[in-house]
Structure 1
């Protein structure tokens, strides 16, 4: 019987600011977590990700490479960030030049189970639970739906 290659969940090569709280188990590697952040259990935050000061990341979220999150943000349970848009008709299969970045502004709240495609989101935005953000959000307000659209200022 063959044995699988085991890769353990862990926290490695992370630059932590002051006063950060992390609830394990988490898989954090090669990322930067700002001052006063809270990272809940069962999250994966990949290399190169930057999480701004005082941001909360609730449980079961996935923040992939090429994501930057501003300060004073809230990321709900089960939020998924995507960096591969399948631009070539299928998965990039490790071809990072096909990946795209996501930038989240300050004071952005993202509801549980939202999916964030590679986009730019300005400051002071609320994304409703279960929303799918497929396009840049350039005006502050409340957004929901699939695809996400502005409901109100």
Structure 2
């Protein structure tokens, strides 16, 4: 009988600021977490990710390589960041030169189960739960939908 190769959830090679709290199980490796961050259970934060001070990443979130998240942000339950746009018509299959980065500003709140494609999001933005962000957001405000669009006052 064949035996699978088993990997355990792990926290390794992480640069922690002061006062960071993590709830296991989670898989954090090669990333940097600023002061007073919180990371919930069943979360993966991959190498090279930088998360600013006082940012909260809730359970079941996936933060892939090439993501930077600013200070005082909130990443809701089940949020998924994507770095592979399938630019060749299929997955990059490890060809990292095809991956794209995501940069999240300060004071950005991302609702549960949102998907964030490789984009730039300015400061002071709210992303509604379940939204799919496919383009850069350069104006502060509230965005929701698939694709995410800015909501105007009174909506």
Structure 1 length as normaliser, TM-score?
0.99
Equivalenced residues, count: 153
Runs of 4+ in 1 over 3 A off after TM superposition: none
Kindly report which structure 2 residues correspond to 1:84-95, keeping only aligned pairs within 5 A, or say none.
Answer: 84-95=84-95
1:6 correspondence with 2:6: yes
In the aligned structure 1, how far is the partner of 2:63 from the partner of 2:117?
Answer: 11
Tell me if the contact between 1:25 and 1:42 (Cα under 8 Å) persists in the aligned partners: yes
Residue in 2 that maps onto 1:29: 29
How far the C-alpha of 1:89 sits from its partner, in A, is 0.4
1:2-151 correspondence to structure 2 within 5 Å:
2-151=2-151
The Cα shift of 1:152 comes to: 2.8
Instruction: Give a deviation string over 1:72-123, Cα, whole Å, max 9, x none.
Output: 0000000000000000000000000000000000000000000000000000
Alpha-carbon shift at residue 136 of structure 1 (Å): 0.2
**Secondary structure of 1:94's partner?**
coil
Deviation at 1:6, TM superposition (A): 1.0
Aligned to 2:97, the other structure's residue is in SS state helix
